[in-house]
Chains A and B, each alone.
Chain A
């Protein structure tokens, strides 16, 4: 049996992560329920469309790798990613339209249609777990939320919220504890636990700045608890929401032309 690569992040995987990772909030009011807080925090990335430039770093004990890319998205069905660095991978682009996945390889001047199973492949390994990528608003609909306490983190007052998966929810975690900034609904830290209460992953939101007109953490880091020297980092260099874009942008013709 051919075994697929488990561990390494592919631009593809990252892209899906990117599309479904929701971290940022919009305004806020007082005395909300835990669920409401989470919802607001989640809604931040849900613009109708977006454009961004980002840098992803994979850190391992003996090496480190950095990839830079540009990404465009419209709703949940359309997105396009262009790799801009390093040189070896420059120009490679991915297009997702509904359930179809296309890959442009400049080195051989070909657009390749990826088999549907690859879409599933993209959800393996790396420090971003499958749970992060399954369906959007999984964090809302698959969990029960409750406020544990208030705590100060990185100079900000945060709600500390506990998320417990609902009975039949298809999530791997036993529980998640997340720190959400009271004022700006920024997700500053998330701890993922397995069912026996062991901490498995911690995700940090750092370097808060104005991106696309919103105050957001521009740096995401996922740190596995049990693996020394392992880290995955995603940094937003540029982020714009609700850009002027339509369906025709997300086409295979455009894959080749995009720069």
Chain B
């Protein structure tokens, strides 16, 4: 009965209803949107970093990552079926990486040599875009690419012969000469100073490591699915001799930064909640004040305070529910808009991002759990606020109220 009364009250005064419900809706919308942007921008950052070289998941011989060595290699054939083990794996690229000395006459420098599958690698990281001078390698190419700074330092030009020597697999002598096909430019100065790229077959021949690779690098999507994918890999691979690592283990610094950011966000969201809580509170307070007269009348004609309270309580619950549902719709809508049309960045941040060759945008995430969580929090806040009318109603003096 009280509920019916509450329901009718709501529709009786549309203006009040709209104002109250909208303050709750706004709360959900802002909290949801803020959460979506925060998550979206980190996802964007991580995706960029991860897909430029490291990948989402890597498989190596056990112990390789902590202590890379030309002897800790694994059979390429053994891992050829990995891509099909999970539908979330977009692409799998094999690589053979190790150290070598590059020599030109009197000058010798240390370099990092990477043997790649040219087609797959290009799909993975768009390496051909990084070739600013000369041409990218084609399958079966006899030549190499060099970091542009490295080429400068040793005075090598396109077409010159590059000589590499090193220690190969299980101690064999590794030596070879290769024509320079092009130079690459990466955002990381380190790579530009030390990278030499050749085809996987050439690298295997150089190091005496035929059919072996140092890592299988996987790109998976969407972000966050890595652990699940790793599970499906674990069951099909020999984990006593192999290690499977996600980007979280491969790049702990990145995760640390995200964590630091996330923990700061708790405080920031706390501030937001305080503001919206007060907004809702203010609205409800005003509403109660406005209805002093009405409530006083009801009380004086015999409605117990307890029932008064429940009537108001139901009203607010219904309003909160309506507000939250509308808020969710708007939050999602707003986020979806910015998911499809991310905020385009300018200024310092854009410059910094472009230096890393990231898109200077800030997309919103559309993960439902973000919005649902914010809705729950706001609901919780409302529930607490709704307790306030309890005290207010208890103290109503019907006579005074009606005199207002």
Q: Do chains A and B touch in the complex (CB under 8 A)?
A: yes
Complex contact B163–A108 (CB within 8 A): yes
Complex contact B172–A113 (CB within 8 A): no
Q: Given A7-B71, A105-B175, is A65 in contact with B165 using a C-beta cutoff of 8 Å?
A: no
CA distance A63 to B208 in the complex (A): 14
Q: Let me know if B283 is at the binding interface, CB within 8 A.
A: no
Within B66-103, the residues touching A (CB, 8 Å) are 67-71, 98-99, 101, 103
On chain B, the residues within 8 Å of A115 by CB distance are 101, 108-110
Interface residues on B, range: 20 to 34
Complex contact A5–B99 (CB within 8 A): yes
CA distance A107 to B168 in the complex (A): 15
Question: In angstroms, how far is the closest chain A Cβ from the Cβ of B166?
Answer: 8
Complex contact A8–B71 (CB within 8 A): yes
Q: Let me know if B177 is at the binding interface, CB within 8 A.
A: yes
On chain B, the residues within 8 Å of A245 by CB distance are none
On chain A, the residues within 8 Å of B106 by CB distance are 113
Q: Let me know if A136 is at the binding interface, CB within 8 A.
A: no
Residue of A3, A10, A92 near B171 (CB, 8 A) is A10
Q: Let me know if B167 is at the binding interface, CB within 8 A.
A: yes
CA distance A58 to B169 in the complex (A): 13
Q: B109's closest neighbor in chain A, by CB?
A: A115
Residue of B69, B108, B194 near A5 (CB, 8 A) is B69
Question: In angstroms, how far is the closest chain A Cβ from the Cβ of B149?
Answer: 15
Q: B190's closest neighbor in chain A, by CB?
A: A1
Interface of A (DSSP majority class): mixed
Complex contact B163–A112 (CB within 8 A): yes
Q: Let me know if B176 is at the binding interface, CB within 8 A.
A: yes
Q: Let me know if B231 is at the binding interface, CB within 8 A.
A: no
Question: In angstroms, how far is the closest chain B Cβ from the Cβ of A125?
Answer: 9
Question: In angstroms, how far is the closest chain A Cβ from the Cβ of B241?
Answer: 10
Q: Let me know if A187 is at the binding interface, CB within 8 A.
A: no
Complex contact B69–A2 (CB within 8 A): no
Q: Let me know if B170 is at the binding interface, CB within 8 A.
A: yes
CA distance A229 to B101 in the complex (A): 31
Complex contact B101–A118 (CB within 8 A): yes
With A6-B67, A114-B101 given, can you name 18 additional A-B contacts, CB distance below 8 Å? A2-B111, A2-B112, A3-B68, A7-B71, A9-B171, A11-B173, A88-B173, A88-B208, A89-B172, A92-B173, A105-B165, A105-B175, A107-B175, A108-B175, A110-B103, A110-B163, A112-B101, A112-B165
On chain B, the residues within 8 Å of A83 by CB distance are 173
On chain B, the residues within 8 Å of A110 by CB distance are 103, 163, 177
Question: In angstroms, how far is the closest chain B Cβ from the Cβ of A150?
Answer: 40
Q: B164's closest neighbor in chain A, by CB?
A: A108
Q: B111's closest neighbor in chain A, by CB?
A: A2
Closest 9 CB pairs of A and B: A8-B171, A89-B173, A105-B175, A115-B108, A108-B177, A112-B103, A2-B99, A92-B173, A5-B167
Question: In angstroms, how far is the closest chain A Cβ from the Cβ of B66?
Answer: 10
Question: In angstroms, how far is the closest chain A Cβ from the Cβ of B384?
Answer: 54
On chain A, the residues within 8 Å of B175 by CB distance are 92, 105, 107-108
Q: B108's closest neighbor in chain A, by CB?
A: A115
On chain B, the residues within 8 Å of A3 by CB distance are 67-68, 99
Q: Given A2-B194, A114-B108, is A63 in contact with B176 using a C-beta cutoff of 8 Å?
A: no
CA distance A88 to B194 in the complex (A): 27
Complex contact A8–B167 (CB within 8 A): yes
On chain B, the residues within 8 Å of A60 by CB distance are 170
CA distance A3 to B110 in the complex (A): 10
- Binary per-residue interface labels of chain A (92-112) against chain B in the complex, 1 for a CB within 8 Å, 0 otherwise: 100000000001010110101
Complex contact B108–A7 (CB within 8 A): no
CA distance A63 to B111 in the complex (A): 28
On chain B, the residues within 8 Å of A2 by CB distance are 99, 110-112, 194
Question: In angstroms, how far is the closest chain A Cβ from the Cβ of B134?
Answer: 22
Question: In angstroms, how far is the closest chain B Cβ from the Cβ of A45?
Answer: 25
On chain B, the residues within 8 Å of A65 by CB distance are 170-172
Question: In angstroms, how far is the closest chain A Cβ from the Cβ of B132?
Answer: 23
On chain A, the residues within 8 Å of B108 by CB distance are 112-115
Complex contact B176–A108 (CB within 8 A): yes
Residue of B69, B108, B167, B173 with most chain A CB atoms under a 10 A cut-off: B173
Within B366-402, the residues touching A (CB, 8 Å) are none
